[in-house]
């Protein structure tokens, strides 16, 4: 395991855009010691749909404790040339937030391992915070493993265009239970140094009902090619979130690209409200999609008109992509969706993949 530490000398750093080429997606398998215990079969069916869809185009690395997960993973009969299971203890399934954030630096890939504390110490994260370290020790990363465990950062809290632009929310990055010892300016400098962000856009408004991530950007607005931003619009049916989303839209209209031009803003629909068994509204959103250089994996919620509107909207921005709708009503029961359970790993970041297949 090749490693670098927090004091790595400054050099040009670039975080690739999600829509650039990647050949592996990290996921975690639901098990009975996670919050999925009460609906385990339903959760596994949903995760399996996502695994099957992604594995058409690229490899999937599934992690989980073998004695609780392996038998059920094998029962789905995934193609072993595309899907690999690795025995790693886990708390939960939110790979977007505990997975490595992979950057290009000094002519090489570096898998940055930031601290994951379950969105400001809301839940247990002792096992999930060690997943990247354990994968590195197993030799799964071809990218250099880089220890950044002194800083709390979740992949769902940041968006980039691959050209140094950051889109994020102040609500999340300034959460006192994440990096409360740092000022906003210190956090900005840290992100610039470690992730190469030279143009930072911080939203001050925007929230989804039922969200427990402190307004992750991947539930609200997504950067896209050609200086586009896809964002969730406010509708009268969304109750108290309508004002926050309307203010967010105003902020987006005021933001500018690094060249000083307005962004191309494209509004995504919001699903009709979905509630859990206790009557709490859940944070269903079409913004929580995963995009590669070939496909978009779109969460849908058995709302035909809204689901189709979301698909058509994405097709405007990604006309050459295959759009793969996947029912994610199970995932939303634990306040997440498709993007939340996936973390893309760029070409060359993972060991054991040859010509798009597990060797």
Asked if 152 and 165 touch (Cβ cutoff 8 Å), the reply is: no
pLDDT for residue 240: 57
Q: What's the token pair of residue 40? A: 């385990």
Residue 217: what are its φ and ψ, rounded to 5°? -65, -30
Asked if 82 and 94 touch (Cβ cutoff 8 Å), the reply is: no
* Averaged pLDDT score across all residues of the chain: 95
The overall pTM is greater than 0.85: yes
In the structure, what pLDDT confidence band is assigned to residue 11 with cuts at 50, 70 and 90? confident
The predicted-structure confidence for 267-300, as pLDDT tens digits, reads as follows 999 999 999 999 999 999 999 999 999 999 999 9
> Looking at residues 162-190, what average pLDDT do you find?
97
In 3D space, the residue among 98, 102, 210, 198 whose CA is nearest the CA of residue 157 turns out to be 98
In 3D space, the residue among 103, 99, 70 whose CA is nearest the CA of residue 86 turns out to be 70
Asked if 157 and 200 touch (Cβ cutoff 8 Å), the reply is: no
C-beta atoms surrounding 259 within 10 Å: 7
pLDDT for residue 94: 98
> In the chain, pLDDT over 90 holds for what percent of residues?
93
pLDDT for residue 7: 45
The predicted-structure confidence for 67-105, as pLDDT tens digits, reads as follows 999 999 999 999 999 999 999 999 999 999 999 999 999
């Amino acid at each position: 395991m090749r490693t670098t530490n927090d004091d790595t000398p400054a050099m040009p750093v670039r975080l690739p855009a999600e829509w650039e080429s990647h050949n592996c997606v990290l996921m975690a398998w639901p098990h009975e010691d996670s919050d999925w215990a009460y609906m385990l079969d339903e959760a596994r069916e949903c995760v399996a749909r996502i695994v099957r869809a992604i594995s058409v185009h690229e490899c999937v690395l599934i992690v989980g404790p073998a004695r609780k997960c392996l038998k059920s993973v094998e029962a789905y009969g995934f193609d072993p040339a595309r899907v690999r299971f690795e025995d790693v203890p886990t708390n939960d399934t939110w790979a977007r937030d505990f997975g490595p954030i992979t950057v290009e630096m000094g002519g090489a890939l570096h898998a940055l391992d930031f601290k994951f504390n379950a969105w400001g110490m809301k839940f247990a994260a002792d096992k999930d915070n060690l997943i990247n370290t354990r994968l590195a020790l197993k030799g799964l990363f071809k990218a250099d493993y880089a220890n950044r465990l002194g800083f709390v950062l979740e992949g769902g809290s940041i968006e980039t265009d691959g050209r140094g632009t950051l889109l994020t929310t102040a609500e999340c990055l300034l959460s006192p239970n994440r990096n409360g010892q740092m000022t906003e300016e210190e956090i900005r400098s840290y992100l610039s140094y470690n992730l190469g962000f030279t143009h930072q856009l911080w939203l001050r408004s925007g929230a989804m009902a039922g969200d427990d991530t402190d307004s992750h950007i991947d539930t609200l607005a997504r950067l896209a090619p050609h200086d586009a931003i896809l964002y969730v619009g406010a509708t009268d049916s969304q109750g108290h979130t309508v004002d926050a989303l309307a203010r967010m839209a105003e902020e987006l209209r005021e933001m500018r690209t690094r060249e000083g031009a307005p962004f191309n803003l494209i509004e995504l629909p919001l699903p009709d409200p979905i509630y859990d068994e206790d009557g709490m509204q859940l944070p269903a959103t079409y913004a929580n999609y995963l995009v590669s250089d070939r496909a978009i994996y779109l969460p849908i919620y058995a709302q035909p008109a809204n689901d189709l509107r979301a698909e058509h909207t994405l097709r405007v921005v990604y006309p050459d992509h295959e759009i793969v709708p996947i029912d994610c009503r199970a995932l939303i029961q634990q306040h997440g969706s498709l993007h939340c359970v996936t973390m893309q790993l760029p070409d060359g970041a993972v060991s054991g993949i040859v010509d798009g297949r597990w060797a």
